[in-house]
């Protein structure tokens, strides 16, 4: 267990450093969107391209891993919506609660952490999970969020917005380009490769630092009264679903699939379980704010899962490795 904590500690320490920097105003809150933009549009796409280009195409097109992870994600969405909806929480808030329960922080945290733990081959299954979460789970939850009439244009308009958001997101395109490069054995010119490498190397530390800063900003805004303080019973159960039910469900589904003869690679199965054990994705808070959901509740779920995952994720690694 200690050797696992030795690997995971620096990743969570960078999140804590970002949190402290924002809370103590060493990092201006106004700078956080710029850091987020650097990670989203430059560093992370380069990292995903590099991993995609160096990963065999068969791993990126692993249908068994794709559908195993997809079915579990859909089950988590359905269970969280049923668990969450009440007199205070309508479809809009329930849908984004379901998204934050089913969407791990695979891009900003998971890929570099899993590669550090398991080696470069862990990138392939993790990228498959990213595709599921960004394309299917996100689009579904945004469409569900419109069912109570929170928007003026309805479900169809929300679904189109979600798909447009996917098309404008550079991360899927980086994965596609990396997959194409892997398929045709494309080698970029040396100066371009070095530039991509520099940006890719910056992705992990800047992303982790930015996660902490985003969480601190959400907490500070809530404390100032810019957002109401959610009830414990409205966010702690969802955090529990993310940290415990999601990885357990993926483990059960993958075990049953392997026993049933589905050609699910054991290593890919292990990576998917650990992806599900990651804390919630920080970008869900931005989506919740954009669509008028209770961003304070979503931010609390992300904060709780990120803080607790230092122990729960390390325990999941000990359990699966």
Residue 277: how many other CB atoms lie within 10 Å: 26
CA distance readout (Å), 75 to 78, 82, 144: 5, 11, 14
- Of 82-86, 113-117, 229-233, 283-287, where does mean pLDDT reach its minimum? 229-233
Query: Phi and psi of 280, rounded to 5°?
Result: -65, 150
In terms of Cβ atoms closer than 10 Å to its own Cβ (0-12, 13-18, 19+), residue 4 is middle
84 closest CA partner among 282, 228, 222, 233? 233
- Size of the chain, expressed as the number of residues it contains: 321
Contact between 106 and 42 under an 8 Å Cβ cutoff? The reply is no
The CATH number given to whatever domain includes residue 156 is 1.20.1530.20
Note the pLDDT tens digit of each residue in 113-158.
999 999 989 999 999 999 999 889 988 888 888 786 644 555 666 6
Residue 279 falls in which region: left (phi positive, over 0), alpha (psi -120 to 50) or beta: beta
- Cα separation of 288 and 270, whole Å? 30
CA angle centred on 162, ends 178 and 281, rounded to 5°: 65
More confident residue, 318 or 167: 318
Give CA–CA dist 11/319, Å, rounded. 20
In this prediction, residues 307-320 reach a mean pLDDT of 92
Contacts made by residues 57-61, CB under 8 angstroms, sequence distance 24+ = 57/179, 57/182, 57/183, 59/121, 59/124, 59/125, 59/128, 59/268, 60/124, 60/127, 60/128, 60/175, 60/178, 60/179, 60/182, 61/179
CA torsion sign for 152, 156, 157, 163 is positive
- CB 5: neighbour CB atoms within 10 A? 14
In which domain, by residue range, is 36 found?
A: 2-320
pLDDT digits (tens, 9 = 90+) for 180-195: 998 888 889 999 999 9
Element (H, E) at 239: helix 232-240
Q: Which of 229-233, 270-274, 295-299 has the lowest mean pLDDT?
A: 229-233
φ and ψ at residue 104, rounded to 5 degrees:
-75, 165
Which comes out higher in pLDDT, residue 307 or 158? Answer: 307
Give dist(CA 2, CA 7) in Å, integer: 9
Q: Cα separation of 129 and 126, whole Å? A: 5
CB 273 within 8 A of CB 251: yes
Q: What is the pLDDT of residue 156?
A: 66
Residue 254 in tokens:
């993958």
Q: What are 194-245's pLDDT values in tens digits?
A: 999 999 999 889 988 988 888 888 778 766 655 566 777 888 999 999 999 9
Q: Which residues of 177-192 are buried (b: 16+ CB within 10 A; e: fewer)?
A: bbbebbeeeeeeeeee
User: What is the number of domains present in the chain?
Assistant: 1
């Amino acid at each position: 267990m200690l050797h696992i904590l030795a690997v995971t500690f620096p990743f969570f320490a960078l999140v804590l450093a970002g949190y402290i920097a924002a809370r103590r105003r060493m990092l201006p809150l106004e700078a956080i969107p710029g850091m987020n933009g650097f990670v989203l549009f430059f560093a992370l796409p380069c990292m995903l391209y590099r991993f995609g280009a160096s990963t065999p195409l068969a791993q990126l097109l692993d249908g068994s891993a794709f559908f195993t992870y997809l079915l579990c994600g859909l089950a988590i969405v359905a269970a969280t919506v049923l668990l969450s909806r009440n007199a205070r929480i309508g479809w809009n808030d329930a849908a984004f609660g379901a998204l934050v329960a089913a969407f791990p922080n695979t891009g900003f945290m998971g890929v570099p952490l899993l590669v550090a733990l398991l080696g470069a081959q862990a990138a392939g299954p993790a990228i498959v999970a990213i595709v599921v979460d960004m394309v299917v789970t996100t689009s579904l939850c945004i469409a569900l969020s419109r069912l109570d009439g929170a928007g003026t244009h309805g479900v169809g308009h929300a679904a189109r917005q979600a798909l447009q958001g996917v098309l404008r997101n550079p991360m899927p395109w980086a994965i596609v380009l990396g997959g194409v490069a892997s398929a045709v054995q494309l080698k970029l010119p040396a100066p371009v490769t070095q530039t991509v490498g520099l940006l890719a190397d910056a992705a992990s530390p800047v992303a982790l630092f930015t996660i902490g800063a985003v969480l601190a900003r959400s907490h500070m805004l809530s404390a100032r009264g810019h957002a109401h303080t959610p009830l414990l019973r409205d966010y702690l159960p969802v955090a529990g679903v993310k940290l415990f039910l999601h990885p357990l469900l993926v483990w059960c589904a993958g075990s049953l699939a392997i026993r049933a003869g589905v050609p699910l690679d054991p290593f890919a199965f292990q990576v998917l379980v650990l992806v599900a054990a990651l804390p919630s994705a920080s970008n869900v808070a931005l989506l919740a704010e954009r669509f008028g959901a209770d961003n304070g509740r979503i931010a609390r779920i992300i904060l709780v899962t990120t803080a607790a995952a230092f122990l729960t994720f390390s325990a999941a690694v000990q359990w699966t490795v």
